[in-house]
Structure 1
Amino acid sequence: MALSDELSKFIPKDFGKKSKKSSKGSGGVSGGYGKSTKDKSQKNKRHSKSNPMSADTRNDNADAVIDSNTDRVSGDVDSDQQLPVDHHIVLSSGKKVVSTLTWDVAGETLCSGTHSGQMNLWDFKTMDGSFQPTRTVHPYEEGQRQQIRIARFNHDGSSILICSSADPRAKLLDSSGRVVREFKRGDMYLLDMRRTVGHVAPLTSVDWSPRNPERFISSAADSTVRVWNSENAAGQEQVLVAKSNVGKRRPVISSCAYSVDGSTIGMSQVDDGSLSLWAANASAKRPTHYLKGAHASGSDISFVFMPDSQGILSRGSEDSMVKLWDIRRFDKPLAEVSGMHAAATESNLALSPDSRRVLVGLGRSPQDGGGGDAGVAVLDTSDLRVRRRLDMPFSSDVVSVCWHPHIDQIAASSSDGSIGVFYNKEGVRGGAILCAGRRVARRQVSEITGPIITPHALPLFKDEPSTLSTGAKRRRAAERTKPGVPVYGHGSGGNIGVNETQHIMKTLMKDTLRDEDPREALLRYAQVAESDPMFIAPAYGDNNKSIFEEDDDNASEEHPLKKRK
């Protein structure tokens, strides 16, 4: 018995792992395996990493993944407390439409572009309470000023990339607004867009790569999206050519953007309202995802990627709709909302720093005759429900919106040249907070200088400034040096017509050569020639006397010719 008792200690009484008792004596964890839910989830994660699902399994489980993400994002969000809209300042950039806004990475400089071709830089560190732009530049020549469509700061804030509505070349500017580089234009006579070294139609959008700080993309109305290196202006590195489903004409690419991870390039087409996704790491010839009719045909579509690079928020200008897409189920939108009227083709979307809300700039409805209230709608990214509508300090339409991810401030531009910057004083100190409480700087007496009058600066001697372009000046200069053109018909401006001039000259200087007798004209000079010979007689008077042979009648006849033998 003693031996059996000793062996019984080593014989198991039941199978499986025993449940562990808690230290507080509240009983064991539910489940016979003694693993908590957290441990199971971690085990499942490790198992999923080691054994990835196949493509079919991922497609079958896409609905479950989408639902889980939606439940996680659509938590109870108090948008009123988290929106930085307690205070605001208004910046004035003129009277034209402010089409684009971009913030540097630190939130210290705001850049705005207008339809007049003017670009303003607002440095909040040095700006006083007058809220005047720190620097105003015109990237394009005075005679060729064009509408600036998009402006984008790079990752370190040292460069600005811009594109206009009538130029196929993108321009790279430094942080002070000086033009550093202008990229090459393509050959418009080549039909194959892959063989050209640049765009041949006006640009529509640009975007920086999140992976490579020197790489960016540009889209144009020539059906291409081109990948460039900012250090090389000679030509692009990659060309993505979209095919048209409406006729044989080239499709117009309205916008382009990189995904957050930089692995995907998205583009939208105006002709059929489609969205397409392309691989960014190779010279792809076909898109990986394509959706025709994402918005109404003819819509200028703007879109933005979600942080997981799986979701896309898009906006159409013609159908006035905002839609939420998932690329794993790209056939229909997860959610959509209507009534989001776009004020311009550059109207965009702006995600919040936590990606739970999206800002949509609103314009007045054209169906209501321009009526309705303009402002900014705050939508929930999980179901696109309108959480709040922000009133602007201006009464015009909202065109572009921007939400800085670090300083948590919102900037919105309008169609009358005003820019509203919203912030909370409890937030990160930066941006508009730096200059909101400053007074307007007073000018010192030593800084005030009187007018310097010179003789040639008086109005009597001053030339009026020319408002003509370079081409018009050349044409006018050529007209000044051009000889007088004959005036046909009746004269005008003090010039007599050619027909009247000829008639007068024929009357004054009549040609009588046909009516004269040539014999009488010659005999008129006969007496003068005999009395005063000038040409013929003096010439022969100085010659030696001619000696001629005299005739001799008595001379014998000439000797006859010798007879032939």
Structure 2
Amino acid sequence: MAGFDEDGLQSFLPAAFGSSGGEFDPAAQMESVRRRVPGQTDAKQTASTSSKDGSDSDQDSDSDDDDSEDEDEFPTSHEIVFKTHDRAVTTITVDPAGSRMITGSTDCTIKLHDFATMTPNTLRSFKSVDPTATKSSANSETHPVHVAKFNPNAPSQVLVVTATPQARILSRDGETTVEFVKGDMYLRDMHMTKGHISEITSGTWHPNNYDLCVTAGTDSTLRIWDVNVRNKQRDVIVHKSKLAGSAGRSRMTAVAWGSQIEGGNTLLVATALDGSLLMWGGQGPYNRPSAEVSQAHTSNTWTSGIDISSDGRLVVTRGGDDTIKLWDTRKFKQPVNTTSHASTSSPYPTSNIMFAPNATSIVTGSETGDLHILNPATLKPELVTPVTPGSALISVLWHDKLNQIITGSANAETHVLFNPKISSKGAVMVMSKPPKRRHVDDDPSLTTDMSQGISGSAIVNPGTSSEAIQGSTFSSRHPTIGLTASGRSRDPRRPHIPATTPFARSQPDERHIKERIPLSSMREEDPREALLKYAEKAEQDPMFTNVWKKTQPKTIYADLSDDEEGGPQKKKPRT
């Protein structure tokens, strides 16, 4: 064809069909989550400006190298933020492989996050679970979550401690598998009770044995549990306080269980409200502590954080007396070092402190929202970086395999700090993916809450029309649409929910009793009337008395008239 411009037509036609999201740039996306810390940015800009002017170029290059070395030493250069809770995040745990993260909060729920399924624009949990909710009652009481910890030896088990006397073992999918028994509160001897009689404050797993865990309670006891035996603890340790006035009891505030590399033994360390710091051998016996410091911290202050180093030689405690102390397990009488640090245990009793995976640093939070990385030898800060300014930093976790620091704050935010150069998987994997294309009806703030079940609107029957399928898809993405004023679903496929009666929350209504419970109508009948309606039938067809019908004697009554005196004699009146 004469005059045909092939190049012009090729530039006019699209290169591919469908909507294209543009080219994906992983480096630019990773740079978008770089932390902008006030002060450090200005210094870098000043250094770059001076280097452009040509003055002191050698010194500037040296300073830039030092800054990059300091930046690469700790995984704090980048961060992603999760806003999945409604209240303060009190506990964080990640499985040993680093694929699943669970957070607990004072909103009485735990949130489950899966790094493998998340993208940069879908940072949300895939499941929300209330650990204290029971299947028998949808309106059961809820309690704040104190501790949630993955089993380091069995990643399918999660120890969950709430503000109740009963600890629970959950699966990695949030299903309750074990609920330990509650003790008898009327027994005075704590050795005789089968479980805690009051609120549990802390708990942790055995470092080597995947079947054992320990919990600390306000009943002045530590209880070691076997996950295969739920109706009684394996061992009980009773702390008899020398300062407490009521029966020598003092609340246990924190507990840690570590291992010793040299001897292969384990170490159990706990703190109490009377200021005591106690240590036992992990294998027992537990009759008395192997070492005790009666005034480790100020009495009647809540020591919320305790941890043991990876080699079992050092113990760090964070007390409610605004101090952090380092202890040597071989010389347990006096602290090796002490530093002042404002405590957040008064409003948040689960504020923790922990060693880095290689025990070269100590990490904790502060009431100002800063992350403190301390030198274990001097307890002086090696790095102080703001995470949630103005909101207290409650819980911290430094994962060894991911090499990422995860923090939980009082403003309900969970921050994952990382460095692409020294961190792996986790947040690095999330930010290396292209953003997910959102559907027009997608709402990123929605989270699947399995505690309420799956809505019937998400089920599509075969043979339905396209309009019905579109309506069910829309209602599944928007579960609050299509409800009545009382909160019930308008979908006729959803089963009837019994109404709540004033007598009990779990008691079904009258309609449910009549339809589902056989012979339930007999509850409202008069027993006498119910028997007399069979009297005529019993005379006509004596099924049970027909055996002695011929031998039954007849009852003979005397025939007396009203005038005769054979009747019963009347009582004579007294004269």
Which TM class, normalised by the smaller chain length? 0.5 to 0.7
Q: Per the alignment, do residues 390 and 470 of structure 1 end up closer, same or farther by CA in structure 2, a change over 3 Å counting?
A: farther
Report Cα offsets for 1:33-76 as digits up to 9, x if no partner.
xxxxxxxxxxxxxxxxxxxxxxxxxxxxxxxxxxxxxxxxxxxx
Q: For residue 206 of structure 2, what is the aligned residue in structure 1? A: 209
Structure-2-length-normalised TM-score: 0.63
* Letter of the structure 1 residue corresponding to residue 256 of structure 2: A
**Partner residue of 1:185 out of 158, 182, 186:** 182
**Aligned match of 2:73:** 82
The equivalent of 2:391 in structure 1 is 396
**Is structure 2 residue 239 aligned with structure 1 residue 247?**
no
Q: CA 1:417 to 1:461, structure 2 compared with 1: closer, same or farther past 3 Å?
A: closer
Check whether the contact 2:310–2:358 (CA below 8 A) recurs between aligned residues: no
- Alignment deviations for residues 363-394 of structure 1 (CA, whole Å, 9 cap, x no partner): 1xxxxxxxxx3211110001101111011156
2:382 maps to: 387
What letter matches 2:504 in structure 1?
R
2:160 to 136, 139, 162: 162
* Separation (CA, whole Å) in 1 of partners of 2:180 and 2:428: 37
How far residue 247 of structure 1 moved from its aligned partner, in angstroms, is 1.1
Q: How does 1:424-503 map to 2 (within 5 A)?
A: 424-438=419-433, 439-443=435-439, 449-451=473-475, 459=484, 474=504
Query: Cα distance, 1:469 vs. partner?
Result: 12
* CA distance in 1: counterparts of 2:505 and 2:80, whole angstroms: 48
Structure 1 position 260 matched with structure 2 position 259: yes
Give me the whole-angstrom Cα distance separating, in 1, the residues matched to 2:192 and 2:485: 58
Q: After superposition, give the CA deviation of every residue in 1:293-332 in whole Å (9 maximum; x if it has no partner).
A: 1111122222111222121100012x11111111222222
Q: Secondary structure at the match of 1:433?
A: helix
Distance 1:353 1:424 in 2: 16
Matched, 1:407 2:399: no
1:233 aligns with 2:237: no
Q: Which residue of 2 aligns with 1:283?
A: 285
Amino acid at match of 1:160: V
Percent of aligned pairs with the same amino acid: 26
- 1:300 pairs with one of 288, 299, 302: 302
Matched, 1:176 2:173: yes
Matches within 5 A, 1:323-334: 323-334=325-336
| AA at the equivalent of 1:203 | I
**Match for 2:438: what amino acid?**
R
Aligned residues: 390
Distance in 2 of aligned mates of 1:382 and 1:335: 8
Shift of 1:189: 1.0
CA distance in 2, matches of 1:323, 1:470: 53
* Structure number with bigger Rg: 1
Number of the residue aligned with 1:97: 88
Report the Cα offset of residue 406 of structure 1.
1.3
Q: Structure 1 residues 436 and 218 mapped into 2: Cα distance closer, same or farther (>3 Å)?
A: same
> Could you tell me how far apart the structure 1 residues matched to 2:124 and 2:71 are?
30
What's the offset of the Cα at 1:437? Answer: 3.8
Aligned to 1:358: 362
1:151 Cα deviation after fit: 0.5
Q: Give, in whole Å, the separation in 2 of the partners of 1:326 and 1:417.
A: 35
User: Structure 1 residues 308 and 469 mapped into 2: Cα distance closer, same or farther (>3 Å)?
Assistant: farther
8 Å CA contact 1:276–1:287 kept in 2: the answer is yes
Which residue of structure 2 lines up, in the alignment, with residue 563 of structure 1?
none
RMSD: 3.1
Post-superposition CA distance 1:194-219 (Å, at most 9, x none)? 11111111111111101211111111
Unaligned runs of at least 5 residues, structure 1: 1-77, 364-372, 481-538, 541-565
In structure 2, distance between residues paired with 1:79 and 1:162:
37
Q: In structure 1, what is the Cα distance between the partners aligned to 2:171 and 2:506? A: 37
Give the secondary-structure state (helix, strand or coil) at the position aligned to 1:417. coil
Give 1:532's aligned residue. Answer: none
After superposition, the Cα gap between the structure-2 partners of 1:286 and 1:470, relative to the gap in structure 1 and judged at 3 Å, is: farther
Distance 1:281 1:89, change over 3 A: same
Deviations 1:75-107 (A, max 9, x none): xxx754310011100001222011100111011
3-state SS of the aligned residue for 2:429?
A: helix
Q: Secondary structure at the match of 2:116?
A: coil
